[in-house]
Copies of this chain bind each other. A is one copy, B any other.
């Protein structure tokens, strides 16, 4: 095995420049929701080059949209496919899914970016751009590991199922479609941006939309109306209280270094359409984190209850209760047992490559790991080279050296997990 590992790592080293160029191209195709096609085309081309058995399909069939775990407001998936590339093993080995999402969140305020968000600009060992860290860098690490194994002509016993999915950022419809298409394995690695930490548990999350009512009036006699923005602030404060209560309950040691294990994020507020009118409607949208051991429906009920309670603090809400919608994104939490062999294989591979023990934590965000584990019944570990802190941020970047290190670790894990075949 040592010989194979040496060859594979040498090959990874030799392919670093090529992998960097691949990541740059992927970042340059800004694959925000609905525009995933061009980036997927690059992935497809790479899979063809590696000789993987390709499965390219447009998701959105009735089987998917009728599934209870499906939640999406997207109407049209045409032209933006899911991509799966399979490297068949010789048999009798454990199979492994390598899952990365190709979609990226919007670039937000352009003025905050030092360079074009889709430039793929490289400086001092960092590659910048939306999606560099979350998670095209992780996907490139997977491909770099696979390429090295294929180029060194190592045969694996177990199958590798490489997946480049859409819709992770909006709730996991892409990975759910892959599960429903029948893709299963004995384990899965998702190289989301974990700062090279290992996350056997992942926070789930759900999107919510709260509608807050006011009463409109002329701004010059604003005292005749009730400003929906003011009432929206009351709602935001209530959600902040709820966040405190919920987090005081989290005792899992994997969360002990995370400031807010299950955050409630207020992501959007929109109210009013005329500066000199008192607005009568305020829409607040956000994301509530779900702990690995929590039930999604109980979390929904808890938030709804907190908003019903508002009437006791402010009588306006008695007669004008808020309404809550659970729309769009919805990520099931993931929860791998701490003694699972996939976890120990990844741990020992990490130690082998870096000479140090990995940090094992619970992820502060939802991933497609919840769908793979809870719907697909596949053991999942989240581990990747991206920088947690800059995911979804302006000036998102990835440290290229970490990408290469993670490729070494993932390749090592593959060789141990799927096992090397002696067949020719």
Chain A positions near chain B (C-beta within 8 angstroms): 105-106, 108-109, 112, 134, 169, 203, 205, 207-209, 215-225, 227, 229-230, 232-233, 236, 259-260, 263, 265-282, 285-287, 289, 328-329, 363-366, 388-394
Contact = CB atoms under 8 A, between A and B. Distances in A.
A276 B230 CA distance: 23
A286 B219 contact: yes
Given A205-B276, A276-B392, 10 more contacts: A109-B281, A205-B219, A205-B220, A216-B393, A219-B287, A230-B236, A233-B236, A267-B272, A275-B286, A276-B329
26 contacts: A106-B277, A203-B220, A207-B276, A208-B275, A216-B393, A217-B391, A219-B267, A219-B287, A220-B289, A220-B364, A220-B365, A220-B366, A221-B263, A222-B260, A222-B265, A223-B259, A223-B260, A225-B393, A227-B266, A229-B269, A266-B272, A267-B275, A268-B279, A269-B269, A269-B270, A275-B285
A278 B265 contact: yes
A42 to B, nearest CB: 24
Contacts of A230: 236, 266
A364 B269 contact: no
Question: Which residue, of A223, A275, A390, has the highest number of chain B Cβ atoms within 10 A?
Answer: A275
How many copies of this chain does one complex carry?
2
Contacts of A268: 271-275, 279
A258 B382 CA distance: 62
Given A108-B281, A109-B280, A222 B263 contact: yes
A263 B223 contact: yes
B229 A266 contact: yes
Contacts of A276: 105, 169, 205, 207, 265, 267, 286-287, 329, 365, 392
Contacts of A363: 220
Contact of A392 (B216, B233, B267, B365): B216
Nearest to A171: B276
Contacts of A390: 217
A262 to B, nearest CB: 9
Contacts of A112: 215-216, 280
Nearest to A278: B265
A274 B169 CA distance: 10
A269 to B, nearest CB: 5
A278 B259 CA distance: 16
B223 A392 contact: no
Question: Which residue, of A112, A276, A285, A366, has the highest number of chain B Cβ atoms within 10 A?
Answer: A276
A274 B106 contact: yes
A268 to B, nearest CB: 4
Contacts of A278: 265, 267, 392
Contacts of A219: 205, 263, 265, 267, 286-287, 365, 392
Contacts of A277: 105-106, 108, 265, 267, 392
Nearest to A287: B276
* 7 A-B pairs with least C-beta separation: A220-B365, A219-B265, A268-B272, A276-B287, A267-B275, A218-B392, A220-B364
A229 B239 CA distance: 13
Contact of A272 (B218, B272, B285): B285
A50 to B, nearest CB: 31
Nearest to A267: B275
A208 B219 CA distance: 13
Nearest to A217: B393
A392 B217 CA distance: 5
A209 B272 CA distance: 13
Contact of A108 (B169, B270, B280): B280
A279 B108 CA distance: 8
Given A216-B394, A263-B219, A389 B224 contact: yes
B280 A394 contact: yes
Contacts of A263: 219-223
A280 B260 CA distance: 20
Contacts of A227: 265-266
